[in-house]
Structure 1
C-alpha cells in the first residue's frame, strides 16, 4: 500500500457543492443589497444636508435628537450588519465544502490549517492575503494546470478596497459619525459602498466558477464509475 492509498482511505470523498453554493450566492446577494441600501441613504442624507442644529454629536457628551431620516439610517445600517454576518456564515460554509473537496481531489494537506479559515479574515496583515491564498489553493487542487480565473483577483482587490477604505466593511466610527460624514464627505462613503457591492458581485462569480469546476469534476467521476460498472459484466461474460 503506497502513500496515496493511505491518503485516499483517510480522506473523506468529495461531496456535491451546488447546495451550499446557492446559499452562499443568496447570502452575497443579500449583503450586496443591504450595502446598496446604505448607499441610497448616504445620498439621501447628503441631499438633505445637515440640520441647522448641527451634527448629532454636539460635543461635550451632548447629543441632539436624530431626525426621521437619521433615525431610519440607524435601522438600515443595523440591517446591513445583520446581512453581512449572515453572508459571512454562508460564504464560509461554502468555502469549507470546496476546501474539503479540493483536499479530496489532490490528496494533499491544505497549506492553511483550519483556524485560518476564520482568523485569516481578521488577523491584521495576514488578512491581506490569507483568504485569497485559500481560494487560490482550492482552485489549484480542483483544476490542476488551469489558469486562475481573473475574477478571483477582482474579488480580492475590491474586498481590500472595501475593507481598508476607512468607511467600508471595517471602520472605527459609530453610526452617528458616519451620518456626519454623509453630510460633509459623502463621496468617501459612496466609494467604499461601491467597493463592497462590487466585491459581493465578484464573490458571486467566484462561488459560481469554483463550484462549476468542482461539480464538473464530480460529475465526470460519477460518469466514469457508472460506465465502468456497466462495462464490467460485459467484460466478464
Structure 2
C-alpha cells in the first residue's frame, strides 16, 4: 500500500512498509537456506574426514575442519534470518489483520492473539496460521477465491519445517554436518522446500497487500 495516500481513520495504519519489510526478510531467509544447501553439498563432496564425525558422543568433539566451521557460520546466519523474518512477517500479518477487521466491519473468526499463539500452540500450529491468513483474505476480498499461493505457502512451510533438517529440526549443527556426509540429498530437499515456502510467502504478502489496497481505495472514494 502506498503510505503517502490518505487512509480511512478507522484503519490501524498503512500496511505497505510492513509488507516491504516482510518481503525483504523472506528473501533473506530464502537466500540463507539456499546457502545452507550449497554448503551441505560442499560437505558431501569433500567427504567425511578420516577422524570421523564432529560429535563423538558423551560430550566429546573433534576439532572442526575449515569447511565445517564455515557451515556453522552459515547455519547461525540462517537462524538469525529466521528470527528477523518471523518478527517482520508477524508485524505485517497483525497490521493487515487489524485493517481487515476494520474494513469488514465485523470481528474476524480468530482473535488477534492467535496471530502469535497460532505458531507455538502444539497441534494447532499445523493449521491456525493458515486460518488467520484465510480470515484476512475473506475480510478484504469477500466472495473471491482464496489465492493459490496461500495453500502453496502453507503446504511447503509444513513440508520444509517438519522434514529433513528443516526449520523445526532440533538437532545440533554438528549432527547436520554428519548427515551431510551420509544423506545430503534429504537435507537439500528440506532446504529446497523452505526456499520455495519463502517464495510462496512473498506472493502471499504481495497478494493480500494488493487486495487490501483495492478495498481501502473503495472507502477513500466513498469519503
The equivalent residue for 2:55 is 57
**Corresponding position: 1:98 with 2:96:** yes
Distance in 2 (CA, whole Å) between partners of 1:114 and 1:84 is 22
Q: Which is higher, the Rg of structure 1 or of structure 2?
A: 1
Of 12-21 and 120-129, the range deviating more from structure 2: 12-21
Q: Matched residue pairs, number?
A: 215
Q: Following the alignment from structure 1 to structure 2, what is the Cα–Cα distance between the partners of residues 60 and 208? A: 49
Equivalences for residues 224-235 of structure 1 within 5 A: 224-225=222-223
Runs of 4+ that moved beyond 2 A: 11-16
Match of 1:183 in 2: 181
Counterpart mapping for 1:209-224 below 5 A: 209-224=207-222
Gaps in structure 2 of 5+ consecutive residues = 1-8
Query: Shift in Å at residue 166 of structure 1?
Result: 4.1
Unaligned stretches of 5+ in structure 1? 1-10, 226-237
Distance 2:105 2:68 in 1: 54
Give the RMSD, CA atoms, in angstroms: 1.3
Correspondence for 2:159: 161
Partner of 1:83: 81
Cα pair 2:110 2:135 within 8 Å, conserved: no
Q: Distance in 1 between matches of 2:220 and 2:117?
A: 35
Q: TM-score, normalised by structure 1?
A: 0.88
> CA shift at 1:113, angstroms?
2.0
What TM-score do you get using the length of structure 2 for normalisation? 0.93
Mapped to 2, the partners of 1:41 and 1:144 lie a distance apart of 45
SS in 2 for 1:171: coil
1:71 paired with 2:69, answer yes
Counterpart secondary structure, 1:58 = strand
Equivalent of 2:150, from 145, 149, 152? 152
Q: Secondary structure at the match of 2:42?
A: helix
